[in-house]
């Protein structure tokens, strides 16, 4: 059994997280080790962040190289790594302009600000509304929690930032309201991650995209959890046959090194001019070095083909478990962003899994979220299934 350490009673760290009693000090590939040397199979990837596994050599080498030269440089000067990463991201997506920041919430902040300013200064309208969806998650800053369609995230933070309304997710009928509202933008996740691993339906997304196009509403996709190969393509929107105006990315972009960004089409990007938005650390030489190494590796290697094969293998293993354990209601997701919907307490399963040295996440009270690194092997998946069954048998 795993050694347990809990420092919560003497911690000086603010209690914003309910933490598991595990202290991780080392990681490599799909594994992490605690402060007593116990090894855990990590199927959380730091919440969809360490997509290339822990401490990937390709990124480590690039970071070490950059450490020798320059750590920080103000955005008042040209930053070659930033230019190179922007070129890589636009060459491999719908967009042609990139803004860099440091996190997912900041990326969505940038998208929301861009939508408002584009609407008012480029289109010359007085529209500022951003429509999002129920059960969504867009971040913890004041604007992004206001954008989030979950009351529990917003409680106690009133007054919220005005200008957001929430439509039901995957509801075709409700999309008609967009024609009346004529908002500046729509912001959505293509697989709602925190909201319970709920994939958007293709018909619904296509209809949404066509309404946006017809009414000149910016289509903004929050790819913070679905991006960087997580769903089997570099970005999830590719699988829906749509071309967004803006996407926000973060989590997997730096393989664990903090970085966020928005990618926009040239027209939408006109919403920002010099002096309208910025960030001291955004796109700094180290973070963008990590981003370059990560994207180059995904694009140049055969990783995404491997992700699709291994995701199918994993799904088949989970379907076998579903037949065996009646408390499993549904297996769903896309690529290696997977939810196990259970009619029991998901947190209890995650806690039991820790005892069997397996790290998992929840997504709401009844969904166990499984996020292995994209580099996961068949053997590691077999080990996961074995450990998960042990956790199931002990609840
Ligand atoms: C994690 C996440 C965010 C927030 O990202 P932070 O880096 O924690 O600010 C926003 N949207 C989605 C879909 C996410 O999964």
- Predicted pLDDT at 3: 55
Fold: same for 24-42+303-393 and 57-300: no
pLDDT tens column, 240-280 = 999 999 999 999 999 999 999 999 999 999 999 999 999 99
Atom 15 (ligand 1): residue with closest C-alpha?
Answer: 225
Q: Are 263 and 97 in contact (CB under 8 A)?
A: yes
Please give the distance, rounded to the nearest whole angstrom, from the Cα atom of residue 193 to the centre of ligand 1. 9
360-395 as b/e: b if 16+ CB within 10 A: bbbbbebbbbbbbbbbbeeebbebbbebbeebbeee
For helices 80-91 and 285-300, angle between their N-to-C axes, nearest 10 degrees: 30
- Predicted pLDDT at 320: 98
Flag whether the pTM goes above 0.95. yes
As a whole number of Å, the end-to-end CA separation of the chain is 16
Question: d(Cα 215, Cα 162) in Å, to the nearest integer?
Answer: 22
SS3 174: helix
Question: d(Cα 16, Cα 274) in Å, to the nearest integer?
Answer: 36
What angle (nearest 5°) sits at the alpha carbon of residue 140, between those of residues 155 and 153? 25
Q: Got the DSSP string for 272-314?
A: --TTSS--SSTT-HHHHHHHHHHHHHHHHSSHHHHHHHHHHHH
**Residue boundaries of the structural domains of the chain:** 24-42+303-393, 57-300
Ligand 1 lined by 105 (C-beta under 6 Å): yes
Ligand 1 lined by 137 (C-beta under 6 Å): yes
Please report the atom of ligand 1 found closest to the CA of residue 140.
9
- Residue 339 token pair: 């939810």
Please report the atom of ligand 1 found closest to the CA of residue 258.
7
Give, in words, the CATH class of 24-42+303-393: alpha beta
Which parts of the chain have pLDDT scores under 70?
1-9
- Predicted pLDDT at 318: 98
Residue in 196, 225, 364 to alter for ligand 1 test, most ligand atoms within 8 A of Cβ: 225
Question: d(Cα 328, Cα 49) in Å, to the nearest integer?
Answer: 27
Mode of pairing for the β-strands spanning 361-362 and 367-370: antiparallel
Q: Are 38 and 234 in contact (CB under 8 A)?
A: no
Please give the distance, rounded to the nearest whole angstrom, from the Cα atom of residue 124 to the centre of ligand 1. 31
Please give the distance, rounded to the nearest whole angstrom, from the Cα atom of residue 352 to the centre of ligand 1. 26
Please give the distance, rounded to the nearest whole angstrom, from the Cα atom of residue 325 to the centre of ligand 1. 32
- Predicted pLDDT at 10: 81
Please report the atom of ligand 1 found closest to the CA of residue 189.
13
One of 3.40.920.10, 3.40.640.10, 2.40.50.180, 3.40.50.300 is the CATH number of 57-300, namely 3.40.640.10
Question: d(Cα 224, Cα 251) in Å, to the nearest integer?
Answer: 6
- Residue 271 token pair: 């919403």
Please give the distance, rounded to the nearest whole angstrom, from the Cα atom of residue 225 to the centre of ligand 1. 7
Ligand 1 lined by 139 (C-beta under 6 Å): yes
Residue in 140, 221, 223, 250 to alter for ligand 1 test, most ligand atoms within 8 A of Cβ: 250
Which of 208, 141, 210, 219 is CA-nearest to residue 171?
208
Please give the distance, rounded to the nearest whole angstrom, from the Cα atom of residue 106 to the centre of ligand 1. 9
pLDDT tens column, 213-241 = 999 999 999 999 999 999 999 999 999 99
């Amino acid at each position: 059994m795993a050694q347990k350490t809990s420092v919560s009673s003497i911690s000086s760290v603010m209690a914003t997280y309910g933490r598991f009693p595990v202290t991780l000090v080392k990681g490599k590939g799909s594994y992490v080790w605690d402060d007593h040397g116990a090894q855990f199979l990590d199927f959380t990837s730091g919440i969809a962040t360490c997509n290339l596994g822990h401490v990937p050599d390709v990124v480590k080498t690039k970071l070490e190289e950059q450490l020798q030269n320059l750590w920080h440089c103000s955005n008042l000067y040209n930053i070659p790594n930033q230019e190179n990463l922007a070129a890589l991201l636009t060459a491999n997506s719908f967009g042609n302009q990139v803004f860099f920041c440091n996190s997912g919430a900041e990326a969505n902040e940038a998208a929301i600000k861009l939508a408002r300013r584009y609407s008012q200064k480029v289109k010359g309208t007085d529209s500022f509304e951003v429509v999002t969806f129920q059960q969504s998650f867009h971040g913890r800053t004041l604007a992004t929690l206001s954008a989030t369609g979950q009351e529990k995230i917003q409680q106690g933070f009133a007054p919220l930032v005005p200008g957001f309304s929430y439509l039901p997710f995957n509801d075709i009928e409700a999309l008609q309201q967009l024609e009346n509202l004529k908002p500046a933008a729509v912001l959505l996740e293509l697989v709602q991650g925190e909201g319970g691993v709920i994939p958007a339906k293709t018909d619904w997304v296509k209809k949404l995209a066509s309404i946006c196009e017809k009414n000149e509403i910016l289509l903004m996709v929050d790819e913070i959890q679905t991006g960087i190969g997580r769903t089997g393509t570099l970005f999830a929107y590719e699988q829906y046959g749509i071309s967004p105006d803006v996407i926000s990315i973060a989590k997997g972009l730096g393989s664990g090194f903090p970085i966020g960004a928005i990618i926009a089409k040239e027209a939408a990007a006109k919403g920002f001019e010099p002096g309208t938005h910025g960030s001291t650390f955004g796109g700094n030489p180290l973070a963008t070095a990590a981003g370059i190494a990560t994207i180059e590796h995904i694009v140049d290697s055969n990783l995404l083909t491997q992700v699709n094969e291994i995701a199918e293998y994993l799904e088949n293993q989970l379907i076998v478990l579903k037949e065996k354990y009646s408390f499993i209601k549904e297996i769903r997701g896309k690529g290696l962003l997977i939810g196990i919907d259970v009619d029991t307490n998901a947190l209890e399963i995650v806690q039991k899994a820790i005892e069997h040295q397996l790290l998992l996440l929840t997504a709401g009270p009844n969904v166990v979220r499984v996020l292995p690194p994209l580099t996961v092997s068949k053997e590691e998946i077999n080990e996961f299934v074995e450990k998960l069954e042990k956790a199931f048998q002990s609840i």
